[in-house]
Chain A
Amino acid sequence: MKLIYEKSQAGRRGIGVPKPDLPVPEVPQELARKSPPRLPELAEPEVLRHFTKLSTRNFGIDTGFYPLGSCTMKYNPRVNERIVGLPGFANLHPLVEDDAAQGALELEWHLQEILREVTGLDAVSLQPAAGSQGELTGLMLFRAYFKDKGEDAQRRKIVIPDTAHGTNPASVTMAGYELTPVKTDARGNIDVEDLRDKVDEHTAGLMLTNPSTLGLFDENIEEIRDIFHGVGALMYYDGANLNAVCGISRPGDMGFDVVHINLHKTFSQPHGGGGPGGGPIAVRESLEPFLPVPVVVKDGAGFRLEYDRPKTIGKVRAFSGPFGVFVRSYAFIRSYGPGLKEMSEVAVLNANYILARLKEAYDLPFDRLCMHEFVLSARSLKKEHGVSALDVAKRLMDYGFHPPTIYFPLIVPEALMIEPTESEAKETLDEFVDAMLAIAREGAESPELLHDAPHDRPVRRLDEVRAAKNPIVRFRFEQHPVEQLPVEQSAGARQLEAQKGA
């Protein structure tokens, strides 16, 4: 479909601007804009239609099942969207004096209290803007803590298992630490023997996702805790998978000292096509003095932002954090109350149910009960029929499902990482399982059908090599390359035409 710039006609306008009867001051010549930005020129109805049409070319949770492993694509209650738009929230400037923001501060304070309870830790900062920023903030707290103890120069290493999200090692580098990788054992736990060899007085800490990205709870977590705390090192909990354990097991009780919570996963902030998110961190008392400023505190009957924290690491983001995200997550939590435990139970039940029904048709690298997600492998399909995890994913689209996460975690070849969340009806789970079983059969009988999938999305498989080799990352107006269609059309393309003709 056309880009909005290709629909533009000089002289059209989508919205007016008030024009007070006042002279417009001149901008000094050398600082004034010489040629206007080529923004689109459309009337309002055409703008709305353009974006509505774009939305029809997209798939969200509202459209259907979205089992994208490790992303916790759960239902986003509509009431939360209405609430976040209340003028008392939406029109509040972040720099007003605290007396003008008592409702916002009360909400933030309550959210902090809830996150303390869910994580089993002592203090919370809501500031980080996403999980990965929570990770980085946590590692900055590690450094501040050890610096305070005079051990920062000595403790340079962060231990990370090979199943970790890429954000963990990336955060380690950004915090100025060095990475110590550790292996996974045959049951999918951290290899404790490997760990013992690698943890010593030079270790600052561990970063662990538990349950792991394999969807498995580490059975040796108590032993791991003793290894790290035994050498005076700290433990960081990547809260990406907190949806499995709310009210069931708390990171603080597992021994973790810092935790980030992905509000956009566990607590249902809509993912917005990539964001926003929220990545508050909860910490043990010993790390509280170093938290970013401001911190929300209760002061008698009121609430205020506290900046006077001499040992603070500073700020990782503006203001107290992404407030609208807090509003939605707080509302989500209040609709569950202590029933958050049931939320996690159902998420785990759903995952195990799909796993039980699929484990004969696909390879299962670690045959255990899973938590809220699990990882299958298309290794045998690949070996025997030349059908890859990518092919399975693309074929799922034809059945009306968003594909799972693929090729992650890296230690599982041809990985398919499936996370149903608690939101789904049993009928949906059954339809998904039936589709996966059908695809496994199709893969064996007519692999071409999978290679050419998807067949009925707005576009066919896209050429990512072409996009990376000669990046076109913006519209170039008159200079924009005119499409040279590839001469050789694939079998898939011919098949599409046949279908259209039929």
Chain B
Amino acid sequence: MSYLSLTHADREEMLAAIGVSSIDELFRDIPKGVRYGRELDIAPALTEPELQRHMEELAGKNIVDEVCFLGAGIYDHYVPAVVDAVLQRGELLTAYTPYQPEMSQGVLQAIFEYQTAICELTGMDVSNASGYDGTTVAADACFVAKHATGRTKIVVTEATNPQVRQVIKTYAPGFGLEVVEVPHEGGVTDPDRVREAAVDAAAVIFQQPNFFGNLENAPELAAAANEAGAMPIAHVDPVSLGVLEAPGEYGCAMAIGEGQSAGNSMSYGGPHYGFLAARNDYIRRLPGRIVGETVDAAGERGYVLTLQTREQHIRREKATSNITTNQTLLALAGLVHLSLLGPQGLKELGETCMALRSYAQTELAKAGLEAVFPDKATFKEFAVRTGRPARDALAAARAKGIYAGYPLGRDYAGLDDALLIAVTEKRTTEEIDRLAEALALERQP
């Protein structure tokens, strides 16, 4: 095995130093009754060339050459080459959590810079070093809200990503939380309904832009939550925050989201990173790693993991979370991408998505497809009625090399004919024309 260094002579010498006669003897503390007597039933070892070929064969069975209009939480944004170059630096790639700061200033400073970027995007005071993904940070936020408010009800809007809602509901019984959903009306959430639901609630979680791609009246939703003493928590798309207002500017207590749009390839759903940021009031309740600035013995600036007493390795059963391994590498990818874009690039990225999305809406309308939620402002995603079961429309488009979108009927009643269509900066007007042509309906007489 080429990943192992010990020679036969090494092994003999080491066994002698230990004072045992065989490798088998090293395992003498394992009772006979629980020893595994057979060879593992795993296919024989592959050499590197064989492995490369086998993996290329598997990768080749996936279809990735259809033009992607699929979003629904994960998006086909461009990942800059510099991101790959940085992530392949072995000193960063193959390090673990920076428990020993003198060995880890690179990762620590990168996390500090990431925390700063997330705070700038969201308008918050403090960000953790990352959560697993955009769903689990929502569950984390519920835990923060429960302990911060002493309340046990969580309000989440129905126009929030269904997987986010599912994960919250899976965690809720263990947290001792009740989850209440506020239905959407015409693709957006009515602040009055939120105001009613928020009474005695720990938090109100909503998504901006919401799952349908529509822009919520987010300031009103946040205000409705604040009036009831519930924490408003916005679930946001990082690449929208060059053009859309930061949650901190409209009164949110926390901002969370899926980071994939910034810096990560789609990779069949992961690994990606969830971000979680909050107002300073909640800093001691946040889950996960946080990096802080300090000085070393010579007075030089440096960085350390801080406020660690929140965490499981110290506070154990009273910890703010059980999280240990997080998503630092993917968060670093996000930081690199955002650093390449800068404020102007991020704004332009948002504007390009909106321009192409608007073009797609127009072209699809011309092709006879009705908007599901007419007159609603959107960012990079929108819903259309395909005039047939959405799966049929999808199949028709796929036959022409277009992956047209996400069938909303999977999660919402009454939308079996609807597709959710995402348009990123990677799409072109020509591709959108092909989409419109592939989905086009017979003109109504």
Q: Give the distance in Å from the alpha carbon of A172 to the alpha carbon of B317 in the complex.
A: 7
The tally of residues in B whose CB lies under 8 Å from a CB in A reads 204
- Shortest CB–CB separation between residue A32 and chain B, in angstroms? 6
Contact B62 A103 (CB under 8 A): yes
* B413 contacts A by Cβ under 8 Å: no
* B402 contacts A by Cβ under 8 Å: no
Considering the complex, give the chain B residue whose CB is closest to the CB of A62: B90
* A397 contacts B by Cβ under 8 Å: yes
- Shortest CB–CB separation between residue A499 and chain B, in angstroms? 11
- Shortest CB–CB separation between residue A433 and chain B, in angstroms? 10
Chain B contacts of A19 at CB under 8 A? 348, 352
Q: Give the distance in Å from the alpha carbon of A247 to the alpha carbon of B39 in the complex.
A: 7
Contact B85 A276 (CB under 8 A): no
Range class of the A interface residue count: 35 or more
In the complex, chain B residues 13-67 whose Cβ is within 8 Å of any chain A Cβ: 13-15, 17-20, 23, 26-31, 33-36, 39-48, 51-52, 54-64, 66
* B339 contacts A by Cβ under 8 Å: yes
The segment from B193-201, B283-291, B366-374 that touches chain A is B283-291
Partner of A100, one of B5, B43, B62, B109: B62
Total contacts A to B, CB within 8 angstroms?
711
Contact A403 B100 (CB under 8 A): yes
In the complex where A92-B62, A250-B36 touch, is A1 in contact with B109 (Cβ < 8 A)?
yes
Chain B contacts of A321 at CB under 8 A? 269-270
Partner of A22, one of B23, B132, B269, B429: B429
Chain A contacts of B303 at CB under 8 A? 462
Considering the complex, give the chain B residue whose CB is closest to the CB of A86: B59
Contact A32 B244 (CB under 8 A): yes
The segment from B173-181, B225-233, B433-441 that touches chain A is B173-181
Q: Give the distance in Å from the alpha carbon of A472 to the alpha carbon of B324 in the complex.
A: 22
Contact B51 A335 (CB under 8 A): yes
Chain A contacts of B270 at CB under 8 A? 94, 129, 276, 317-319, 321-325
Q: Give the distance in Å from the alpha carbon of A15 to the alpha carbon of B166 in the complex.
A: 37
* A91 contacts B by Cβ under 8 Å: yes
Q: Give the distance in Å from the alpha carbon of A341 to the alpha carbon of B37 in the complex.
A: 11
Chain A contacts of B348 at CB under 8 A? 17, 19
Residue in A276, A452, A475 with the greatest tally of chain B CB atoms within 10 Å: A276
Contact B299 A486 (CB under 8 A): yes
* A159 contacts B by Cβ under 8 Å: no
* B160 contacts A by Cβ under 8 Å: no
Q: Give the distance in Å from the alpha carbon of A313 to the alpha carbon of B170 in the complex.
A: 6
- Shortest CB–CB separation between residue A389 and chain B, in angstroms? 12
* B135 contacts A by Cβ under 8 Å: yes
Partner of A335, one of B3, B110, B242, B244: B3
Chain A contacts of B135 at CB under 8 A? 315, 317-318
* A297 contacts B by Cβ under 8 Å: no
Contact B133 A318 (CB under 8 A): yes
Contact A169 B342 (CB under 8 A): no
* A41 contacts B by Cβ under 8 Å: yes
Contact A166 B312 (CB under 8 A): yes
Partner of A270, one of B82, B93, B297, B347: B93
Per-position 1/0 for B261-272, Cβ under 8 A of A: 000011111111
Per-position 1/0 for A239-264, Cβ under 8 A of B: 00000011111100111000000101
* B388 contacts A by Cβ under 8 Å: no
Contact A249 B34 (CB under 8 A): yes
Contact A166 B319 (CB under 8 A): yes
Q: Give the distance in Å from the alpha carbon of A37 to the alpha carbon of B73 in the complex.
A: 23
- Shortest CB–CB separation between residue A441 and chain B, in angstroms? 20
Considering the complex, give the chain B residue whose CB is closest to the CB of A120: B36
In the complex, chain B residues 337-389 whose Cβ is within 8 Å of any chain A Cβ: 338-349, 351-352, 354-359, 377
Contact B429 A20 (CB under 8 A): yes
- Shortest CB–CB separation between residue B276 and chain A, in angstroms? 13
* A206 contacts B by Cβ under 8 Å: no
* A133 contacts B by Cβ under 8 Å: yes
Partner of B40, one of A47, A255, A340: A340
Partner of B51, one of A254, A334, A356: A334
* B211 contacts A by Cβ under 8 Å: no
Chain A contacts of B45 at CB under 8 A? 334-339
Partner of B6, one of A31, A278, A349, A463: A349
* B125 contacts A by Cβ under 8 Å: yes
In the complex, chain A residues 42-56 whose Cβ is within 8 Å of any chain B Cβ: 42, 44, 47-48, 50-52, 54-56
The segment from A190-198, A227-235, A280-288, A487-495 that touches chain B is A487-495
Chain A contacts of B206 at CB under 8 A? none
* A298 contacts B by Cβ under 8 Å: no
Contact B90 A219 (CB under 8 A): no
Partner of A327, one of B55, B88, B115, B304: B55
Chain A contacts of B96 at CB under 8 A? 66, 68, 71, 73, 271, 273-274
- Shortest CB–CB separation between residue A157 and chain B, in angstroms? 12
Q: Give the distance in Å from the alpha carbon of A277 to the alpha carbon of B328 in the complex.
A: 10
Contact B19 A356 (CB under 8 A): yes
Q: Give the distance in Å from the alpha carbon of A102 to the alpha carbon of B437 in the complex.
A: 28
In the complex where A102-B62, A132-B322 touch, is A93 in contact with B403 (Cβ < 8 A)?
yes
Contact A170 B319 (CB under 8 A): yes
Q: Give the distance in Å from the alpha carbon of A313 to the alpha carbon of B46 in the complex.
A: 37
Contact B352 A17 (CB under 8 A): yes
Contact A93 B291 (CB under 8 A): no
Q: Give the distance in Å from the alpha carbon of A85 to the alpha carbon of B293 in the complex.
A: 34
Chain A contacts of B295 at CB under 8 A? 462-463, 466, 483, 485-486
Residue in A41, A96, A464, A474 with the greatest tally of chain B CB atoms within 10 Å: A474
Q: Give the distance in Å from the alpha carbon of A356 to the alpha carbon of B16 in the complex.
A: 10
Contact A464 B304 (CB under 8 A): yes
In the complex, chain A residues 286-339 whose Cβ is within 8 Å of any chain B Cβ: 292, 313-325, 327, 331, 333-339
Contact B52 A323 (CB under 8 A): no
Contact B298 A489 (CB under 8 A): yes
Contact B345 A14 (CB under 8 A): yes
Q: Give the distance in Å from the alpha carbon of A209 to the alpha carbon of B26 in the complex.
A: 19
Chain B contacts of A129 at CB under 8 A? 132-133, 136, 270-271, 327
Q: Give the distance in Å from the alpha carbon of A196 to the alpha carbon of B36 in the complex.
A: 28
> When A and B form their complex, which 6 residue pairs have the shortest distance between CB atoms, in order from nearest?
A272-B329, A88-B59, A62-B90, A319-B269, A58-B106, A103-B61
Given contacts A103-B60, A247-B40, 17 further A-B contacts (CB under 8 A): A4-B339, A27-B377, A36-B347, A41-B344, A51-B110, A62-B90, A91-B64, A102-B61, A262-B325, A272-B95, A322-B132, A322-B270, A461-B297, A463-B294, A473-B115, A473-B126, A474-B119
A-B contact pairs, 15 of them (CB 8 A): A4-B339, A31-B218, A33-B245, A42-B339, A54-B109, A81-B88, A87-B64, A94-B74, A103-B58, A103-B59, A272-B93, A273-B97, A397-B100, A457-B102, A468-B307
